[in-house]
Homo-oligomer: A and B are copies of this chain.
Amino acid sequence: MDVTTPGGEPVVLTRTRTTRTTSTGTAPARPGREGWSVGVDVGGTKVLAALLTADGAVAGTHRIPTVPGPDGLVAAVRTCVRTLAANHGLPLDALSGVGVGVPGVVDPATGSVEHAVNVGVERPFGLADAVGAALGGGVPVRVENDLNAAVLGAAHTVDAVPTPRDLAFLALGTGVAAGLLLDGTLRRGARRAAGEVGHLTLVPDGLPCGCGQRGCVEQYASGRALQAAWPSPDDRPAPLVLFADAAAGDVRAVAVRDRFAWAVAGAVRILVLTCDVDHVVLGGGVSGVGEPLLEAVRAELERETSGSSFLASLRLAERVHLAPRDVPVGAVGAALVGRGEVV
């Protein structure tokens, strides 16, 4: 489970800067490393970290399993940061900052986290301070909600998104929720609940949801919903199996795929008609399906649009994009947070 990318040629993020930076592995710290930061994306099962160069290239990544609870979280972040820094010959205090994206309610001013149920942190916990202490106090640590970090990462890595960046990052994972960057500014929400579109009603009196309601978007548009509707017969992810079976002409698979695309399209419509975000980037585990997912969602949006000149004028299908598959968007966004690019 402990995978570290070699310190070879970094993946250059197409949007952020134009220059390339090369990395030479475990050489000692030297000039040219100013402005590098580490981003750590904490999920329910894994912690994924990225070392970002000043010009926005991913110099390396590190991945370890999640150990729930405050102590496990701090230890995981520390391990990731130390490993990435050591692999690239960087003393910790040479980093411009460390950013952590956490699936919970975050106060970015204090770095405190609460209601992060999936990672075992329920009561308010001063994550930024604890990580800062664990790293020896020499590097600034900033914390952000994971989807807010992800939308920043998507804004910097999706070619279709121009400046000022105006987009939603729609995570199709275990659950469904969005991060919002409106006219270049993070919309966290008055009570840090913006983007909770997964718990809006899609089907009145529909499937029961863990939130206590029925028929929530999440019950139809999430990876978990897809897995329940089309379980994988082997170790391939269920979304890949479903889309492959549908492409092969399995009529039932086509119906399940189209129903899934209908639900995702519903979430896209909610985001556009409410916030009028210029772009919606599909992310989360299901986005690993790639182009076939994008095509199915766009086809559904086009179908709905064909009967409504109002919807047609909104050009919904054009606004939808895929998160890049070769860039860890959440970790990159956390690294941007870490170096102080909070907006």
Query: A interface vs B, CB < 8 Å?
Result: 166, 180, 182-183, 185, 187-197, 199-201, 203-204, 211-213, 266, 269-278, 304, 307-311, 314-315
From B194, B211, B269, B307, A212 is in contact (CB under 8 Å) with B307
Query: Cβ of A275 and Cβ of B276 under 8 Å apart?
Result: no
**A277 cross-chain contacts in B, Cβ below 8 A:** 189-190
- Interchain residue pairs with CB less than 8 A apart (27): A180-B275, A183-B187, A185-B185, A187-B275, A189-B275, A189-B276, A189-B277, A190-B276, A191-B278, A191-B314, A191-B315, A192-B276, A193-B272, A193-B276, A193-B314, A196-B276, A199-B273, A199-B310, A199-B311, A203-B204, A212-B307, A212-B310, A212-B311, A213-B307, A271-B274, A274-B275, A275-B275
The closest CB in chain B to the CB of A203 belongs to B204
**A187 cross-chain contacts in B, Cβ below 8 A:** 182-183, 275-276
Q: How far is the CA of A201 from the CA of B205 in the complex (A)?
A: 14
Q: How many copies does the complex hold?
A: 2
**A185 cross-chain contacts in B, Cβ below 8 A:** 185
Query: Cβ of B193 and Cβ of A266 under 8 Å apart?
Result: no
**A307 cross-chain contacts in B, Cβ below 8 A:** 212-213
Query: Cβ of B276 and Cβ of A308 under 8 Å apart?
Result: no
Which applies to chain A's interface (DSSP): helix, strand, loop or mixed? loop
Query: Cβ of A274 and Cβ of B212 under 8 Å apart?
Result: no
Nearest first, the 10 A-B pairs at minimum CB distance are A189-B276, A212-B308, A190-B278, A194-B276, A211-B310, A274-B274, A193-B276, A196-B273, A166-B190, A212-B307
Q: How far is the CA of A304 from the CA of B203 in the complex (A)?
A: 15
Q: How far is the CA of A309 from the CA of B213 in the complex (A)?
A: 9
**A188 cross-chain contacts in B, Cβ below 8 A:** 276
